[in-house]
Chain A
């Protein structure tokens, strides 16, 4: 929402509904698309890897943003659902030889179905109490993969995930895979942006702000909460499937409890209730991760040799935790809130307050 740029007046409904309102916004958007197409050609393979990681994470973060930011269904088990999607598609491609693209959709739907099963408890609990069903979902996912369906998933040995191909074209280079993932992330992002300003999104926001009030207005809370759970976890499943098929191999260890908590934490760092919050949160997360990879060897040299062997694993935990805690203490509303303030003061430039 927010203020429109100075001097822009809507005279038609199409203008009122548009996401990109002014010529400048169109120009910036086209420039962004061009950069997305041109820049990867000059990027190193490590940067492409990072780009693919960020794009897939953005998809999952959009999902958790829909659940946490828009419907206030606290979700602390997202990694389990990401893993569900990844296992759905890799099992189908490995055992049945299905093409990647239908398998990816099936993986997303599997995660959504798992979300529906877990989400039925959302009828009775709300707010922070949702932590427990979702965390349970995460641990039950581990048990399902490692013990119950061991015959198909090969337990901790992991399972291969085939490289995607369509009409004879195989996405076997980093560059082509980046284009694929970025395109899907862009589509999912626009979809989410439009979803939250449709009837469904308005119902979600009503439930977030006051669920009893929403019910009195005639909104079917149970249906919309479950819908949020299904859609959000569908996003997570797609993200997991894309990442697993990029790496080519995965086991349940890919979807640890740390990732689960980071998804929720960086949603808050990014900003709840903003689609851009998912993007900011992901960028913050992954860039910070790169920073840790850069700093850890330096710290390893400084510290005495008795404990320097542990730095690799411990450094990430400590730095992530410290940065997120400092961020939450200083700006509990996240980066997106600052972004909104910046946009408003920019648009009202001479008279900003």
Chain B
């Protein structure tokens, strides 16, 4: 029972991190209609940037995190302006493939600068303590990740519900034409979407880095984020969160209980099997919009 609860908590934590990535993919898809496949790189780059500032002794810790988010936001805007803005209006495949290339670009750049050795955050960010609840042992950092993810999701919801920027984004998601008529600068909304997306990926990258350490393998988080976004439905925030929890729990539980029988690789492959099977049942994801098409 203790093992089960430990796996459950770990699964929820990793699931919420996937959900953050999926929300990033969702926001880009809803506003620009482009499937973001760059998740891997968008997790790696902010995580390494954070590592540079956080492990820099002379830098105040709180400022390090703020600077990381600022740089991530700038990165998001630059990536949008240089690679996606010129492709507006092209067939949707070209920008999607362009984003996979962004993944490779960021992966290459991080590997060039920081190499393949895994890095660790200093202990104030990646707490090494283990909390004991009777027989259940839960690493402190997992709890931090849980709380942080929940907070980010709450802030995002409030932003979309009450702020002007969020309102503009919801209108743009509904229809580009209507948004233009209402005087919303759609292209600026696209840029905002990329910035918000990068911030979400930065949170996901930093939290995963705190749990597992930072290495090139971190980019699988972004890939699972895409899987989760499609599992939940590309238009749905609920879907992203529920899908993230589903995939995270499935991964940790299957890896924990069946890993010995089916080989260690099962934990990596189980999200892909789940999404492939779900595609038969609900092709547009669990909460996705079923489009009615006419000729």
B107 at the interface (CB under 8 A from A): yes
Are B98 and A140 closer than 8 Å at their CB atoms? Answer: no
Query: Given that A265-B97, A311-B112, A313-B111 are contacting pairs, would A322 and B263 also be in contact in the complex, using a CB cutoff of 8 Å?
Result: no
Are A321 and B295 closer than 8 Å at their CB atoms? Answer: no
CA distance A131 to B276 in the complex (A): 11
Write the nearest CB–CB distance from B221 to chain A, whole angstroms: 14
A195 at the interface (CB under 8 A from B): no
Are A128 and B104 closer than 8 Å at their CB atoms? Answer: no
Are B101 and A265 closer than 8 Å at their CB atoms? Answer: yes
Are B92 and A318 closer than 8 Å at their CB atoms? Answer: no
B66 at the interface (CB under 8 A from A): no
Are A125 and B108 closer than 8 Å at their CB atoms? Answer: no
- When distances are taken between beta carbons in the complex, the residues of chain B under 8 Å from A142 are 265, 269
Q: Mark B215-245, 1 if CB is under 8 A from A, else 0.
A: 0000000010011001000000000000000
Are B108 and A314 closer than 8 Å at their CB atoms? Answer: yes
Write the nearest CB–CB distance from A17 to chain B, whole angstroms: 31
The bracket for how many chain A residues form the interface is 35 or more
CA distance A57 to B84 in the complex (A): 29
Which of B3-11, B16-24, B279-287 lines the interface with chain A? B279-287
A203 at the interface (CB under 8 A from B): no
B102 at the interface (CB under 8 A from A): yes
A101 at the interface (CB under 8 A from B): no
Which residue of chain B has the shortest Cβ distance to A262 in the bound complex? Answer: B104
CA distance A137 to B283 in the complex (A): 16
A151 at the interface (CB under 8 A from B): no
Which residue of chain B has the shortest Cβ distance to A117 in the bound complex? Answer: B276
Are A268 and B93 closer than 8 Å at their CB atoms? Answer: yes
- When distances are taken between beta carbons in the complex, the residues of chain A under 8 Å from B111 are 310, 313-314, 317
**Other A-B pairs beyond A121-B280, A143-B268, A328-B97, 4, CB < 8 Å:** A124-B280, A125-B283, A261-B101, A310-B111
| 5 interchain pairs, CB-CB under 8 A | A132-B276, A133-B279, A210-B295, A313-B111, A318-B108
Task: Give 7 nearest A-B pairs by CB, closest first.
Answer: A317-B108, A147-B263, A321-B105, A136-B272, A314-B112, A124-B283, A318-B108
